[in-house]
Amino acid sequence: MRRQQLLDRVKFRNRVEGRLGDLVDASHVTDARSLTVLPAAPHPGTEVVEQLLSRAAQAQEELERAECEWLSSSRNLQSADGELSELEQQVRDQIEANSAQLAAKEQIQSQILQMEQMILAAKKKETLVAMDFEEWVVM
């Protein structure tokens, strides 16, 4: 859209300059044979139009550079987003692995505690049996 506007302006400028070039200097004409076509003097507005067209072209170039930078940034952002997703998945996997290890550790500790309790109970029972045996022997 913007490019088409610039092209239309350039075409308009060329038409205006062409018409100005076709003007005839008739100030010294005595008959039709002495008419001469002079090169057109630049219209005062032509310089302004050229400056505006130049600025518009520069703005278009800057816009295109900005679009390229934006696309590059967008691609970098997508790449970084993909890397972040991968890291998040690795963290989730590590958390799951740590949770499984923690559950296994807790189960082992629970089994150790049960064994210790059974050993204590067995020692207590052994002590009681020994006391009962001594009492029986004494009797």
- Each residue of 63-82: pLDDT tens digit? 999 999 999 999 999 999 99
Residue with tokens 């629970």: 110
Under DSSP, the state recorded for 66 is H
How far apart, in whole angstroms, are the C-alpha atoms of residue 32 and residue 46?
A: 30
Q: Are 54 and 9 in contact (CB under 8 A)?
A: no
Find the mean pLDDT for residues 85-111. Answer: 95
- Each residue of 21-34: pLDDT tens digit? 444 444 444 545 55
For residue 3, pLDDT over 90 is answered with: no
Residue with tokens 């100005």: 20
How far apart, in whole angstroms, are the C-alpha atoms of residue 56 and residue 45?
A: 16
